[in-house]
Structure 1
C-alpha cells in the first residue's frame, strides 16, 4: 500500500481543474469518494482472502475444493504476488489508455465479477477464473485510486499527508471488518455465501464511486495523463502480440516436457516478484 501512496504523493494536481476543495473533514470531496470506494474494495478483497485458503483445501463434502494444503498454500502465495505486480500494468494502462476514472471503474467491475465467480459452486475452474479477474481488476483499481488522492491537492498543499492518512484509514477499516463478516459467513454457513458477500461489498463501492466521482474528482482523472499517440499504436500492438506468442509457446514447451505444474508456476512467479521488488 505504501508503494502506491508514494507514487501518488509525487503527482502534481492542476489547480485549474480541481473540484471543490472542502467538504470531507476539511479535505476535497473527492477524498470521500475514494475513501468509501477503498473501504468496500478492501472489504471484498480481505474478506475473500480470509476464507479462500480454507476453501481450497477443505474437503469437498464440507463445501471445499479438496486440494492438498501444500498446493493450496502455493496457489495462495502466487496469487498474492500477482496481485501486487499487476499494479505496474494497471498504472501503465491508466496513464496511456484509460485514465484514472475508467481504470478504477473497470477494475471494480472485474473484482466484483471475480467474487461472483467464487460465489458460484463451479469447482477449480471458477477459482482460476476468479483469480484472473481479481488480479487484473486490483491492478487497475488499487494504484490508480491512490494516484487519484494525490491529484486532489495542489502542489505544496499542507493537507496532502493528512489526506493520505484518512484514505489509509478507509483501507484499514475495510480490511478490519471483512474477516468478521465474510469470514464468519464463509466458515460457519457456506463458503460461497461468504464470497457472495464480498461481491456485494465491491458492488457497494462501485455504486458510491459512480454516484460521486464525476462531480468530485478533478478533470485530470477522466483522461490519460500521457495518452498513446497514433503512431505508437502499431508498435505497441506488435509488442503485445509478440509477448503473447512467446508466452504461449513457452507454456506449450513446458507442457510437453512435463514440468508445467502448480509448483513450477509458483517458483517462476516467485523469481519474477523478487526481481521486481
Structure 2
C-alpha cells in the first residue's frame, strides 16, 4: 500500500476514493446515458433518426448486449490480476468505452452499432470489476472506514446513473440520437482525465502491476486455447451460414447458450474439485438455488431498460403538470429508488440484528416484490386497455416495487457469495454473482421476443407469477438451504 495514499485524506477518506468515485460516476453516466436511448435508436424508423430495426430484434439485441457486458467482467479480472494491474486496466477500459460512444456518435448506421457494442463490452469488462477492487485497495483490511468508503463509492455509481437519462436522454430523443451518444462519450472523457490526474497522485504504485503475473509458459497455453476457441466459433458460424442459419436472431441464441453454459461449467468444476472440503461442497449446493433466484430476479429487473422502456415510450403519458418529457427519463427511476432505499434498509437490518431472516428467506421476499412489479403492470392494461396512454404513476410504482426486491437480493447475494465461496475458488465464486446477471439478460434476449402490445397482459402475468412461484418454492426449502450452509447465516 502506498503510504501517501493513506495519509492524503479528504473528508476522512483517502483522496484516491474521490478519484474512483468520479471515475465510476462518469463511467456509469456514459453507460446508462447510452442505454437510455439505444433501444429507441435501434427501433425508431430511419426517418426519425433511428436504424429501423424491428422492435423484437431491438429488444433482443439490448438484452444480449447487457449479457455480454457482464460476461466480459471475467476477462477484465484476468487481465488485471495476471497482465496489466488494476490501475492501467481501468484506464484502458475507459478508453475503449469512450471510443465505443464516439463510434455511436458518428452516423455510420448498423456497422457503427456493432463496433460500438464490441468496444463498450470490452471496455466495461476491463473497468467495472477492477475499479471496485481498487476502492478496497485504498484501505487496510482492519480499517474501519472501509465499509463507509464503499457506500460512498456506490452512491457515486447511482448519481451518474440517475443524471444520465435526464441529459443524454433529452438530447438523444429531443435533438438527435448522435448528439446524445456524443455527450455519453464526453462524460467518459471527463472520467478518464480526472482518473489519470488523480491516479498519479493518490493510487498505490502496487496497482500498476499485476498481483499474480502470468508465467510466459502459461501465456502460451492460454494463447493456444484462445486460438482454438476462435477457430471453433468461426467453424460454427461457417456451418450456420452454409445452412442459411446465420441470422441475427440465431447469433443471439448462440450467445445465450454460451452464457448459460458458463455457470454450469463453473458449478461442475467446483463441485467435483478435490480442493474443496465436504462442508464447502454442501455450501456450494446451498448457493445453487440462490444463484437461480438471482437469475430470475435480474431477468425482471433488467427488463426495465427493454420491455418497460417500450411501455414508457408507447403506452405512457409523457407529461407531468403540463410539462412534456422524453420516455428515456424513466431510466432514472432505478438509481433514484436505490438511493432512497439504501439508508432505510441499512437501518432495518441494523435494528433487527440477529433476528434478521436468513439469506434464502430474504431472496424469497425479493422475488415476491420483483414478481409483483410485473403483476402491477397488468392493472393499467385491464383498466384502460393497451391503446390508451396511462399515467406515469404506474411505471414509477413498478420500479419502486422491483427495487425493494433488489435491496433484498443484490447486497445479500454479494454477502452470501463471499461467505459460501470455497477457499480455492473465491474469485471464481465472485464472478458467478456477476454472471447471474449475464445469464438473466441472455435469457431475456429470448424471452422479450414474446412481448408485444397485443399480448403484454399475458407476458406480464406469466413472468410475474413464475418468479413469485419460485420465490414460494425457495421459501419452502429455506430450512434445508440453511442446513446446507453449515453455520453460515
**TM-score, length-scaled by structure 1:** 0.92
- Greater mean alpha carbon deviation, residues 182-191 or residues 265-274: 265-274
The offset of 1:18, in angstroms, is: 6.3
How much has 1:258 moved relative to structure 2? Answer: 1.8
What are the equivalent positions in structure 2 for 1:29-40 lying under 5 Å apart?
A: 29-40=15-26
Kept in 2, the 8 Å contact 1:18–1:219? The answer is: no
Q: Are residue 82 (structure 1) and residue 68 (structure 2) matched? A: yes
Aligned to 1:65: 51
Does the alignment pair 1:205 with 2:205? no
Mean Cα deviation higher: 49-58 or 231-240: 231-240
Choose 223-232 or 49-58, whichever is displaced more.
Answer: 223-232
Residue 243 of structure 1, CA deviation: 1.4
Q: 1:139 aligns with which of 118, 125, 138?
A: 125
After TM superposition, give the deviation of residue 59 of structure 1 in Å.
0.7
Residue 110 of structure 1 corresponds to 96
1:268 maps to 254
Partner-residue secondary structure (3-state), 1:109: helix
| Separation in 2, partners of 1:138, 1:219 | 23
> Relative to structure 2, which stretch is displaced further, 43-52 or 215-224?
215-224
Match of 1:242 among 214, 218, 228: 228
Q: Distance in 1 between matches of 2:78 and 2:133?
A: 12
The 8 Å contact of residues 40 and 201 in structure 1, kept in 2 or not, is answered as: yes
* Structure 1: stretches of 5+ with no match in the other structure: 1-13
Q: In terms of Rg, which structure is larger?
A: 2
Following TM superposition, by how much is the alpha carbon of 1:237 offset from its aligned partner in structure 2, in angstroms? 1.8
**Deviation of residue 209 (structure 1)?**
0.5
- Cα displacement (A) at 1:64: 0.4
Scaled by the length of structure 2, the TM-score of the pair is 0.53
Per-residue CA distance 1:119-172 (angstroms, 9 max, x = gap): 000010000000000000000000000010011111111111111000001000
Any idea what SS the aligned residue of 1:66 has?
A: coil
| RMSD over equivalenced CA pairs, Å | 1.3
1:194: which partner in 2?
A: 180
1:58 and 1:66 in contact (8 A); partners too: yes
Q: How many residues align?
A: 263
Cα deviation code 1:162-208 (max 9, x no counterpart): 11000001000000000000000000000000000000000000000
